[in-house]
Chain A
Amino acid sequence: MDFSFTKKEEQFRQELRTWLEENLPEGWLAGNRELPEDEEEYSAFLRNWQKTLHEGGWAAIAWPKKYGGRDATLMEEIIYQQEMVRVKAPPLVNYVGIHMVAPTLMQIGTEEQKEEYINKILIGEEVWCQGYSEPNAGSDLAAIQTSAVKEGDKWIINGQKVWTSFGHLADRCFLLTRTSHKEKKHQGITVFLLDMKQPGVETLPIVQMDGKKEFNEVYLNDAVAYDADIVGEVDEGWKVTMALLMHERTGIGAQVFTLEQQFEDLVKLTKELHVNDQPLIKDPFVRQKMVDFYTRFRGSLLNYYRHLTKTLKDGHPGAEGSMDKLMVSELTKELFDYAVSVQGHQGVLWKKDALVDSYWQDNFLQSFGMTIGGGTSEILRNTIAERILGLPKDLGR
């Protein structure tokens, strides 16, 4: 058992830390982390950040060197996430491109596809989105209905996608379509690399419960793609989808490290807030609850490290990632609920009127998406029960 980092890993951390200090947007480290409200400016800001990352060699560290990456080890990826969380770095606009699409193309794409897309992903010239969920295919992803039909040399695509992050900014989409109706619904799915900038594609923002617009609906009306845009084989897209998921080898590391930071913030809050001239953290009920949170956040971090150790030994991530995701997302929800609760009757005040900082109210609202997106808590419990404990599958699946 050993929790230390090697000298080489520490050097890597220091190199990144120094680079971040010199290259983060003006005023970022000092706490000026407001992102532009205007959509155009927002997009330009994030694309610019990706460009800066690329120029420093920090955009796609896990990629092979020949594609412009660093061949980073898994531990270096972990350190990368820790450091990005530490400085609350701006979001990566091309997350889907860098962490999912490009690695998948490197593995199973054609030479032409590699040539055409990988470098543009790296330098931020093309932003990607993921066309997975549909109104009637959420947790049951294989139930997708968006159809692709071959007409001459074209594939004509019709249907609707939802929950597409960065859909309105994206240039291309990693799109799941149904190309044939077979006995089992996960057969007959084909993946296309769809051009988003065409008349048959329309995106509409989804307004979330917290007022933000992070997702889109994507309407496909006779959108066009070609044979050259297919990843893998026709009707064999499910395998491609699974392969793509395996490239997320650090699992939910970023969220685990973020939770650690959020917990520390909550400790500060309970020290700053006073009731009857006494810091909240001195109240026996608050102390007990805070020890609960401390223990469970430590537990989630340590679980993550234990699963990471297993991934390092096995060479690939296992089903344990579903435990990490379940625990961290549920705990985040509870933590922000409590953070609002300790602010008493003024806890409901929002935005400019927030008692301390709207960070708490914003994250409270935001946290409700965490136990849904990327696998609902219910699906994760099924996975834990079936894949880890070996319980029988539900009928109908």
Chain B
Amino acid sequence: MDFALSEEQEMFRGYVRKYLDGAGQTKIAREFAKGNTDGFQAIWTGLADLGCTGITIPEANGGLGLGALDLVPVLEEMGQVLLPGSYLETVAFAVPLLEKYGTEAQKEKYLTEIAAGSRSMTLAWLEPQKGYNPEEISCSARVEGDSLVVDGVKVLVPGGEQADSYVVLVRTDEGLSLVIMDRTNDIEVNAQRCIDETLGLSELTFRQVHILQSQILGPVNQGWSVLQEGLLSLNAALTSVIVGGMEKVIDMSVEYVKIREQFGQPIGRFQALKHRIADMKMELETTRSLSHYANWALESGEADCEAAIYSARTFATEAYINVASHNIQNHGGIGFTEEIDCHLFLKRARFYESYLGSSQHYKEQAALALAW
């Protein structure tokens, strides 16, 4: 029995934390929200230099050749600072799918460039006014010679303006397929306003955009099942990002109630606050346990991997909103201001709960995985 991250994993966390502390923690996200994205690009390069973008990429492609569990401490650190952009989608969606389904040419190009930090990728799945069902995809890719011609609109694409490539779910002749589309001037990218301004959500419009057929990722017409596989690792990783965010939120509450005095004493002495923060801590530790197990189950291919990941995701997203909400209340008036980070975490938590499926949707997925 050893349910803990290894010393090496914790050591790697230390490097990442030191780097992000040096970069000003949530300052990166705040600048990003104001439209100053240059700093973010520099951070991405810095993280790549530390090895963060290539953790699970094979050494032959310039990565570290490690497993899903080695991503965990790094993702948790990203969650602590609300890192903008599409690190999550790059390392936990695009990379595992490229490794499993990528052609040699795709691996050579994309994995190598991701590991080197010169390429980020994101996921373009959802469409305007549409839900999560496969029937609702109307964005299409029509065969024309050795090309595909893509038409349609994708929305809610994280880090859409910064990403260098998109993994796009499109309708092909006999089903759905995933295609990799590199950012070119042919693709129209518009920012979408989101209550979480630190993410950079985009709407992508494709008007007769030509790509090579060799850009299909995985078997043609099997895009839906390939997407589900990608969602497993994406959701496992998402729980890690959430653990980091929750940890930061609880640190904020603990520090504040020790310092803030009312009625002649620190407010942390009052049980109304003390007990609420104890409950927040319980939610954090439970999320951490579920998240670590989910990532372990993914890496070691356990039989309960799907149930573990879906249930961890739904618990994590709900718990994050809870603790981020309580954190505002614990801070009182100042918690409601723009100046203090409380609201940034609440907004991110709100985003994740509905990101790529509501918690209700993932509860049903968990029930199905449990054969109920």
Q: Are B289 and A391 in contact (CB under 8 A)?
A: no
A209 interface residue per 8 A CB criterion: no
Q: Are B281 and A388 in contact (CB under 8 A)?
A: yes
Q: Are A1 and B3 in contact (CB under 8 A)?
A: yes
Complex CA distance for A75 and B269, rounded to whole angstroms: 38
Q: Which of A281, A389, A393 counts the most chain B CB atoms within 10 A?
A: A389
Contacts of B66 in A (CB 8 A): none
Residue in B250, B265, B296, B308 whose beta carbon sits within 8 Å of that of A1 in the complex: B296
B193 interface residue per 8 A CB criterion: no
Contacts of A323 in B (CB 8 A): 281-282, 285
A246 interface residue per 8 A CB criterion: no
Q: Are A295 and B4 in contact (CB under 8 A)?
A: no
Q: Are B269 and A306 in contact (CB under 8 A)?
A: no
In A349-397, the 8 Å CB interface with B consists of 378, 380-382, 384-386, 388-395
A241 to chain B, nearest CB (A): 24
Q: Are A291 and B3 in contact (CB under 8 A)?
A: no
Count, A-B residue pairs, CB within 8 A: 142
Q: Are A326 and B3 in contact (CB under 8 A)?
A: no
Q: Mark A273-297, 1 if CB is under 8 A from B, else 0.
A: 0000000011010011011101110
Q: Mark A221-239, 1 if CB is under 8 A from B, else 0.
A: 0000000000000000000
Contacts of B366 in A (CB 8 A): 291, 294-295
Q: Give the A interface residue count (CB, 8 A).
A: 49
Q: Are A292 and B1 in contact (CB under 8 A)?
A: no
Contacts of A395 in B (CB 8 A): 265, 269
Q: Are B315 and A391 in contact (CB under 8 A)?
A: no
**Could you say which of B97-105, B130-138, B225-233, B270-278 contacts chain A?**
B270-278
Q: Which of A1, A75, A282 counts the most chain B CB atoms within 10 A?
A: A1
B122 interface residue per 8 A CB criterion: no
In B100-130, the 8 Å CB interface with A consists of none
Q: Are A389 and B1 in contact (CB under 8 A)?
A: no
Contacts of A5 in B (CB 8 A): 1
Chain B contact surface mostly: helix
Complex CA distance for A288 and B359, rounded to whole angstroms: 10
In A59-93, the 8 Å CB interface with B consists of 75, 78
**Could you say which of A99-107, A153-161, A172-180, A308-316 contacts chain B?**
A308-316
Complex CA distance for A292 and B265, rounded to whole angstroms: 39
B370 interface residue per 8 A CB criterion: yes
Q: Are A299 and B290 in contact (CB under 8 A)?
A: yes
A1 with B2: in contact, given A302-B289, A378-B271, A382-B271 (CB under 8 Å)?
yes
B142 interface residue per 8 A CB criterion: no
Contacts of B285 in A (CB 8 A): 303, 306, 323
Q: Mark A21-32, 1 if CB is under 8 A from B, else 0.
A: 000000000000
Q: Which of B3, B250, B296, B314 counts the most chain A CB atoms within 10 A?
A: B3
Residue in A291, A305, A381, A390 whose beta carbon sits within 8 Å of that of B311 in the complex: A291
A361 to chain B, nearest CB (A): 24
A164 interface residue per 8 A CB criterion: no
Contacts of B268 in A (CB 8 A): 385, 391-392
B11 to chain A, nearest CB (A): 15
Complex CA distance for A383 and B269, rounded to whole angstroms: 12
Complex CA distance for A290 and B369, rounded to whole angstroms: 13
B258 interface residue per 8 A CB criterion: yes
B334 interface residue per 8 A CB criterion: no
Complex CA distance for A311 and B293, rounded to whole angstroms: 19
Q: Are B286 and A389 in contact (CB under 8 A)?
A: no
B297 to chain A, nearest CB (A): 9
A162 interface residue per 8 A CB criterion: no
Q: Which of A281, A291, A298, A312 counts the most chain B CB atoms within 10 A?
A: A291
Complex CA distance for A95 and B285, rounded to whole angstroms: 30
B92 interface residue per 8 A CB criterion: no
Size category of the binding interface on chain B: 35 or more
Complex CA distance for A330 and B278, rounded to whole angstroms: 14
In B270-320, the 8 Å CB interface with A consists of 271, 274-275, 277-279, 281-282, 285-290, 292-293, 296, 307-308, 311-312, 314-315
Q: Are B2 and A391 in contact (CB under 8 A)?
A: no
A397 to chain B, nearest CB (A): 10
A2 interface residue per 8 A CB criterion: yes
Q: Which of B250, B268, B278, B372 counts the most chain A CB atoms within 10 A?
A: B278
A303 with B363: in contact, given A1-B6, A391-B274 (CB under 8 Å)?
no
Contacts of A298 in B (CB 8 A): 290, 293, 308, 311
Q: Are A2 and B1 in contact (CB under 8 A)?
A: yes
Complex CA distance for A392 and B267, rounded to whole angstroms: 9
Contacts of B269 in A (CB 8 A): 391-395
Contacts of A382 in B (CB 8 A): 271, 274-275, 278
Residue of B nearest to A6 (CB): B1
Q: Are B1 and A308 in contact (CB under 8 A)?
A: yes
Residue in A299, A313, A390 whose beta carbon sits within 8 Å of that of B315 in the complex: A299
Contacts of B265 in A (CB 8 A): 392, 395
Residue in B257, B281, B367 whose beta carbon sits within 8 Å of that of A291 in the complex: B367
A314 to chain B, nearest CB (A): 12
Residue in A290, A295, A326, A393 whose beta carbon sits within 8 Å of that of B314 in the complex: A295
Complex CA distance for A199 and B268, rounded to whole angstroms: 50
Contacts of B367 in A (CB 8 A): 287-288, 290-291
Complex CA distance for A305 and B293, rounded to whole angstroms: 11
Residue of A nearest to B297 (CB): A3
A306 with B4: in contact, given A291-B311, A326-B282 (CB under 8 Å)?
yes
Contacts of B312 in A (CB 8 A): 295
In B253-269, the 8 Å CB interface with A consists of 254, 257-258, 265-266, 268-269
20 contacts across the A-B interface (CB closer than 8 A): A1-B4, A2-B1, A3-B296, A287-B363, A291-B366, A292-B363, A294-B307, A299-B286, A306-B3, A309-B1, A310-B4, A381-B275, A381-B278, A388-B281, A389-B278, A391-B257, A391-B274, A391-B277, A394-B269, A394-B271
A interface residues with partner B (beta carbon < 8 Å): 1-5, 75, 78, 267, 281-282, 284, 287-288, 290-292, 294-296, 298-300, 302-303, 305-306, 308-310, 312-313, 323, 326-327, 378, 380-382, 384-386, 388-395
